[in-house]
Amino acid sequence: MGQHPDTSLDPKGYVADFRDTLLPQVTLKDFEADLSSGDGNELQTKFRAAHSSSGLAVNCFAPFRSRIADLAMPMAAGFDDLRFERKCPTGLRGGRAPNLDVVLSGPGGVVGIESKLTEHLSPHRAEFSPAYEEQIRDSRRDQGYFREMLRLRDRPDKYTWLDAAQLIKHAFGLARSFPDRPVTLLYLFWEPANPTAGPEFVAHRDEIEEFRARVAGSSPAFEAMSYPELWRFWQDTEPADWLVRHLSDLHARYGVTL
């Protein structure tokens, strides 16, 4: 962990204090309340891991909390609100509302972000409660996400590296939470500087494209990009001085060549 050379990790890759995972321009006021109100006591558990996808999302986006005017995404800009671990209920009776790692919103629409660091390097099997088919009776039933859910219910091993079931559940939650606004579900994932060096990264990309084709034309719109691609986008937008420094910190922490 480049910005904390004296920080030690336990054998499972965890630090003793979650603050030791933060980049220099990340402050507690930018994210602590959001994560404390989320599910699972995130700050004292998974967030302490060097491989935490929630930690990556916070380290990437938290500095924009007080500089929201500087935040632009390839699919939208003009945001006025940024939240971490936001609940977007699917409407199922008795079900737990999915938590999206980041939700950006503004007059032009909403972007819900599902963040991945290393989770996509482990195999996934699609699982859905029968309640999704039984209780979703609105326009979501006519979308590609619902059709893909039915397909995966019968073929749960269709995707190996992409957690398609999680994305579908997030799509259901976003569609219900923001029914009258343009909404995008952004799958934002880490890759090394040389992703073609690992067959898992190549296969993961292939599965993303298959999923994208399956849900094309649906609401929310589905987009996917890697964190390094996002950082290059920011670098190309004539970033403010603070963002130049922040991008350098992000590359120092997460830039890896295999």
Q: What is the pLDDT along the chain (258 residues), one digit of tens a residue?
A: 444 445 678 888 899 889 999 999 999 999 999 998 866 567 777 888 889 999 999 999 999 999 999 999 999 999 999 999 999 999 999 878 889 999 999 998 999 999 999 999 999 999 999 999 999 999 999 999 999 999 999 999 999 999 999 999 999 999 999 999 999 999 999 999 999 989 999 999 999 999 999 999 999 999 999 999 999 999 999 999 999 999 999 999 999 999
Does 13 map to a domain? no
**Residue 99 CB partners (closer than 8 Å, separation 6+):** 38, 39, 85, 86, 87
pLDDT of residue 219: 97
As a whole number of angstroms, the distance between CA 219 and CA 30 comes to 30
User: Domains in the chain: how many in total?
Assistant: 1
Does 129 map to a domain? yes
Does 3 map to a domain? no
Do 49 and 37 touch, CB atoms closer than 8 A? no
pLDDT of residue 39: 63
188: which strand partners? 115, 225
pLDDT of residue 37: 80
Place of tokens 């937008």: 237
Does 200 map to a domain? yes
Does 11 map to a domain? no
Does 61 map to a domain? yes
In 10 A of CB 11, how many CB atoms? 5
Does 249 map to a domain? yes
Place of tokens 């190549």: 202
As a whole number of angstroms, the distance between CA 81 and CA 104 comes to 6
pLDDT of residue 2: 44
Does 7 map to a domain? no
Residue 23 lies in domain: 18-254
pLDDT of residue 40: 56
